Amino acid sequence: MYEWIWQKHAHSFEEMSNLSKDLRQKLSEAFILPALTIDTTQFSSDGTIKNRFKTFDGHKIEGVLIPTEERKTACVSSQIGCSLSCKFCATGYMDRKRNLDYDEIYDQVVLINKQSEEVHQKKLTNIVFMGMGEPLMNYTNVLKAIERISAEDGLGMSQRRITVSTAGVAKQIKKLGEDKVRFKLALSLHAANDVKRNEIMPINEANNIRSLVEALNYFYKQTGNEITFEYILFKNFNDSLKDAEELIKLYRQVPADLINIIEYNPIDNFRFTKPDDEGFTNFMGHLEKNRVNVRLRHSRGKDIDAACGQLANKNKE
């Protein structure tokens, strides 16, 4: 049964064909397998695929397959809704219903991997915890899911190919270091000073930039794992050369490998817009001139609300 559930990914006892029919019948009557199912699927013009999954108790979450020539990446959720209320994120306007159990997170990866094999004839190469919810506020289940994903009797994927993204929970970042995790860490930064970060990310009031710098340095000292800054560029808010200078200073305080500059994807209720091409060029050029390793991360799946910050169960029926 263990093999059927974790390696063959059976979603019912009936599928366990090497068990007797009588035993399968008795198991079905006495137990349930609370497996995730795909509720709806949407296909973007750029090849991105968004799935709305349904949990055994009727909740809905979203996960995305992001294909490129080199990579097939699953973007998975860790909570049903979110409690952090980041102003630029559609999930932040939803109530947090509950944490996802580790098997529900695992099921997302299994189903997206199956999708990748069917559509692209290739298995997943990478997993990012950048979907709905704050992974470090569901710490135990996220780590247990990653353990199952990387286990030989699970999916057998290297933890070096997994990135957990956090809005910045300093205490839990330190705990990751203490637990000597092997996956990569991404900090959703989006502003390099506390005043601006407080405005768009309320979590910063209890986890200010100074505490995050300390936590990230501790994490790196304990693990040596790759750290990335994620920085959405908002027009006339965090895109000036002064903002770039503040970001450079912060970058030099942390052993970060990379700053990902991200295009803002519009959502309802948020007043900001993204800069024009010149704004991106000037901002990134200033970082590069100061020897910052920076990359522009283009949005994928905008036409189906599957891009960064857009997940909010808005799939069409």
- Is residue 230 part of the annotated active site? The answer reads no
Q: Is the pLDDT of residue 316 over 50?
A: no
Q: What is the mean pLDDT of residues 94-107?
A: 94
pTM summary value: 0.92
Between residues 91 and 308, the one the model is more confident about:
91
Q: Is the pLDDT of residue 309 over 60?
A: no
Give 53's strand partners: 38, 61
Q: Is the pLDDT of residue 230 over 90?
A: yes
Q: What is the mean pLDDT of residues 213-229?
A: 98
Q: What is the mean pLDDT of residues 122-129?
A: 97
pLDDT band at 317 (very low <50, low <70, confident <90, very high): very low
DSSP structure string for the chain: -HHHHHTS--SSGGG-TTS-HHHHHHHHHH------EEEEEEE-TTS-EEEEEE-TTS-EEEEEEEE-SS-EEEE--SEES-SS--TT-GGGGSPP-EEPPHHHHHHHHHHHHHHHHHHHS----EEEE-SSS-GGGGHHHHHHHHHHHHSTTTT---GGGEEEEES--HHHHHHHHHTT--SEEEEE---SSHHHHHHH-GGGGTS-HHHHHHHHHHHHHHH---EEEEEEE-TTTS-SHHHHHHHHHHHTTTT-SEEEEEE----TT-------HHHHHHHHHHHHHTT--EEEE----GGGT-STT--SS----
Q: What is the pLDDT of the chain when averaged over all its residues?
A: 92
Find the catalytic residue in 3, 14, 62, 199. 62
Strand order in the sheet with 184-188: 37-43, 49-54, 60-67, 72-75, 126-129, 162-166, 184-188, 227-233, 258-263, 294-297
Q: Is the pLDDT of residue 84 over 70?
A: yes
Q: What is the mean pLDDT of residues 285-308?
A: 81
pLDDT band at 308 (very low <50, low <70, confident <90, very high): low
Q: How far apart are CA 222 and CA 50, in angstroms?
A: 36
Q: Which of 2-11, 19-28, 51-60, 293-302 is predicted with the least confidence, judged by mean pLDDT?
A: 293-302
Strands 72-75 and 98-99: what pairing? unpaired
State both tokens at 274. 């993204």
Q: Could you report the per-residue pLDDT of 243-277, keeping only the tens digit for each?
A: 999 999 999 999 999 999 998 887 777 788 899 99
DSSP structure string for 213-226: HHHHHHHHHHH---
- Is residue 317 part of the annotated active site? The answer reads no
Find the catalytic residue in 75, 82, 86, 308. 308
Q: Is the pLDDT of residue 315 over 60?
A: no
Q: What is the pLDDT of residue 264?
A: 87
pLDDT band at 313 (very low <50, low <70, confident <90, very high): low
Q: What is the pLDDT of residue 94?
A: 84
Q: Could you report the per-residue pLDDT of 29-61, keeping only the tens digit for each?
A: 999 889 899 999 999 988 999 999 999 999 999
